[in-house]
Each structure stands twice: as structure tokens, then as C-alpha cells.
């Protein structure tokens, strides 16, 4: 992830915040999630208006220790007015907001149908066909899952023949889908893709995985994804020229080998990252992959767990797909798509045998790598999977 945008602020300038309290929701190219406050205090200033996309690491708010510090902060920001735009500053009046003024503000919001909703509430609303403009939060100033369920249950009790108590889902793609579409379109337009494919004899890999799962250290069990990730990480270490990306008209090499892998979480496709994957043994890597997968499916991944990545693995064998040409996950220069492992006829010497095979397809950014470099990279991954004992080294 290189950029993101705030979808809604759940606190206003001048209001107190607790450490760990949800402060705002953020939207990236892959996910929409809640972000907690890193410290307790008072929201002194909001430096980024909703819907505006900025690079990661951009300051977006200021938290102060005491309410009386807000006025001084406002003066400092005002002095930089020509350099800073779209800044909402807490004044002493706002800092001492009363309950009545808060209720008045909430009523204005409800009249416009603009109550903020949590990401889970929005997903549930889409699934149930609920129009969030009809809802008001039972508690607080934000619509949550329980509000959606309560409204849906109440409407279900009033259904009569010939009438519909719920609205049809909004036509068109969701906001997350639109962002993914925009991101992938830019990737495909800006990065000159080329593809390489190879068929791997996976018979030894199947036996190797069975042996690993019989080990006392197997934990939740080894999947082929673990072995693909390990082979990808090991090859990136051996061929550091591939561990690079294109930016500002030049190739930039990465210092660490971090492998991203695709996880389907409901309607969302998330891409958590295994840090320093090459330094982990197979058991450590498998444990890390299981933990990240579970967090992804529970909606508990943090932004830090989805940032960066040297390369991405997409294992579509889990949904019985034989092969796929994937669009690069920017700014990465390579991506591996693996099909399903199944018995297929294969020529071994002078005989045709039924062997376990898998098709690997490598997507490459031609700005970073040429055909021969990409071919050598894919050939080495094939070798490691056909002789998987090398993954233990």
C-alpha cells in the first residue's frame, strides 16, 4: 500500500479521545478499516479532509494532551495557512462542546442522511439490501452492525404481500470494488506486463507436504500455499535483482524479502504480507501465514500487515482453477499465480504417467526485468518445488 484516504472521522476537533478508541476509518487500494488512536488526549486538529487520497506516512491529525493546548496549536497552524489546506482546527468553543450542541449537530447529520457507518455495518447493509440512509444509530453517532440487524428485523416483521420492506442493493460496484478497479487499471496501464508459464511435476511436493503434516511441529497443518511462498522467498534471496520495483524512472532494489499472499475474506480480496519470509523456516512461515489468514477473515488485519511486499502469490488451486494470468500488485515487479494440483498425464522418460502437476504463471513488469531474467526466476521456483527438500535449507 502506498496511499489511502480517510472515509470518515469519528471524532471532531476538540473532543477527547482514549488510546485504542476508533478515531477514523481509512480506505486503501485493498481494504477499508477502522484506525484506533495511538494516544489519549484531545483531537487538536484534523489535517486531512475525507475522501482526499494521500501517500502513506502523511500527517493527518494532531492529538494534544490538554484542551488549553488547542488554542496555541490553532495559532501555529494558522501561521502556516498558506502552506496547509483543508485543515479543521478546534477552537476553545468547540473544545468545550456541550451535550446540547452535540445533539444539535447529530440532528443535522441525521437529516442529511450522513451518519457514518462502520465498514462491517456497510458490508452487512449491502448483503441485506438495507439503505443506510434510513438508519440512525441506537447509541453514539455511528451506525454499527447491530443497528443494521435491528432495522432489518423490524422491517421483516412488517412485510406484507406485494410490498418490500427493504431497499434493493445499490446498483453498481461498492466503493472498495471501485478502488480495486482503479488500482488494477492503473497497474495494467502503467506497467508493461508480460507472462511466463511452466508446468511443475508436483509429485514429490505432495509427498513432502504429507511428511511435514505428520511432524509434531505441523501445528494447524501445511498448505501448498506455504510451500509456494517459501519457494518464492528463497528464489528472491538467490536472485536479488528481481526483488525490485520501478519508480520515478528508475529501478529501486528492496532490502528485505517480504511475501504478500492473496486471501479471500467475504467479498474482499486482502493481501497480508509475511515479513522476512526467507529468514523463516517452513514451520514458522506456516504459522505466520495461518495467523494472518485468520486475521484477514475476521477483519482484524492492520494496515502495517498489508503494506509493502516484494512479490505476491495468488493460489487459485483452492478454487479448482488450472491457471491464471494475474495483474501485478503495484509497485511490485513480479507475481506468481498457482493453479490446482491434480493428476495429469506427463511424459517421464519414454513413458506417459499420471503425475501430480501444477501450472505456475509469472507476471512480470518489463520495466524491471527482461524475458531471460524472468525465465530464470520461474525456472528456479520450478526446481525448488520439484525437489522440495531444498526448501528446508
Rounded to whole angstroms, the Cα distance separating 327 from 77 reads: 42
Fold of 191-392: Chloramphenicol Acetyltransferase (3.30.559)
For 274-294, the DSSP string reads ETTGGGS-HHHHHHHHHHHHH
How confident is the model over 186-208, as pLDDT tens digits? 899 999 999 999 999 999 999 99
Rounded to whole angstroms, the Cα distance separating 272 from 180 reads: 15
Give the pLDDT confidence score for residue 168 in this predicted structure.
41
CATH architecture of 3-97: Beta Barrel (2.40)
Query: Can you say how many angstroms the Cα of residue 206 is from the centroid of all Cα atoms in its chain?
Result: 30
Nearest-5° angle of CA 187, CA 200, CA 392? 95
Max avg pLDDT among 98-102, 161-165, 198-202: 198-202
Give the pLDDT confidence score for residue 379 in this predicted structure.
98
Computed on alpha carbons and rounded to an integer, the radius of gyration of the chain in Å comes to 25
Phi, then psi, of 250 in degrees rounded to 5: -150, 165
Give the pLDDT confidence score for residue 224 in this predicted structure.
96
The residues of the chain that CATH labels 2.40.50.100 are 3-97
Give the pLDDT confidence score for residue 86 in this predicted structure.
42
Rounded to whole angstroms, the Cα distance separating 289 from 271 reads: 11
Least reliable range by pLDDT among 156-165, 229-238, 342-351, 372-381? 156-165
The residues of the chain that CATH labels 3.30.559.10 are 191-392
> Given phi > 0 = left and psi -120 to 50 = alpha, else beta, which region is 299?
left
How confident is the model over 344-355, as pLDDT tens digits? 999 999 999 999
Amino acid at each position: 500500500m502506498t496511499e489511502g484516504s480517510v472515509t470518515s472521522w469519528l471524532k471532531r476537533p476538540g473532543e477527547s479521545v482514549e488510546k485504542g478508541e476508533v478515531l477514523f476509518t481509512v480506505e486503501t487500494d485493498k481494504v477499508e478499516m477502522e484506525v484506533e488512536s495511538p494516544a489519549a488526549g484531545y483531537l487538536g486538529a484534523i489535517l486531512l479532509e475525507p475522501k482526499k487520497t494521500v501517500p502513506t506516512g502523511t500527517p493527518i491529525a494532531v492529538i494534544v494532551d490538554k484542551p488549553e493546548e488547542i488554542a496555541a496549536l490553532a495559532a501555529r497552524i494558522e501561521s502556516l495557512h498558506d502552506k496547509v489546506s483543508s485543515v479543521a482546527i478546534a477552537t476553545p468553543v468547540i473544545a468545550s462542546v456541550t451535550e446540547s450542541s452535540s445533539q444539535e449537530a447529530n440532528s443535522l447529520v441525521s437529516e442529511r442522511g450522513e451518519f457514518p457507518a462502520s465498514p462491517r455495518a456497510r458490508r452487512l447493509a449491502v448483503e441485506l439490501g438495507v439503505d443506510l440512509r434510513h438508519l440512525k444509530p441506537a447509541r453514539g453517532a455511528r451506525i454499527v452492525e447491530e443497528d443494521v440487524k435491528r432495522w432489518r428485523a423490524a422491517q421483516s416483521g412488517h412485510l406484507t404481500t406485494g410490498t418490500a420492506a427493504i431497499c434493493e442493493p445499490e446498483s453498481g460496484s461498492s466503493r472498495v470494488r471501485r478502488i480495486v478497479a482503479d488500482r488494477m487499471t492503473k497497474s495494467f496501464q502503467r506497467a508493461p506486463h508480460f507472462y511466463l508459464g511452466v508446468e511443475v511435476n508436483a509429485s514429490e511436493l505432495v509427498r513432502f507436504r504429507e511428511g511435514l503434516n505428520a511432524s509434531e511441529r505441523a501445528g494447524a497443518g501445511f498448505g501448498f500455499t506455504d510451500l509456494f511462498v517459501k519457494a518464492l522467498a528463497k528464489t528472491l534471496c538467490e536472485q536479488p535483482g528481481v526483488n525490485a520495483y520501478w519508480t520515478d524512472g528508475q529501478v529501486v532494489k528492496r532490502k528485505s524479502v517480504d511475501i504478500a499472499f492473496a486471501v479471500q475474506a467475504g467479498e474482499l480480496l486482502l493481501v497480508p504480507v509475511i515479513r522476512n519470509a526467507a529468514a523463516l523456516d517452513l514451520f514458522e512461515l506456516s504459522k505466520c501465514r495461518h495467523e494472518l489468514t485468520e486475521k484477514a477473515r475476521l477483519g482484524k488485519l492492520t494496515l502495517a500487515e498489508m503494506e509493502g511486499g516484494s512479490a505476491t502469490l495468488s493460489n487459485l488451486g483452492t478454487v479448482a482453477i488450472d491457471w491464471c494470468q494475474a495483474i501485478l500488485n503495484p509497485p511490485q515487479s513480479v507475481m506468481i499465480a498457482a493453479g490446482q494440483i491434480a493428476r495429469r498425464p506427463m511424459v517421464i522418460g519414454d513413458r506417459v504417467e499420471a503425475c501430480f502437476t501444477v501450472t505456475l504463471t509469472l507476471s512480470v513488469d518489463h520495466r524491471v526485468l527482461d524475458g531471460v531474467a524472468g525465465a530464470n526466476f520461474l525456472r528456479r521456483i520450478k526446481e525448488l518445488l520439484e525437489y522440495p527438500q531444498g526448501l528446508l535449507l
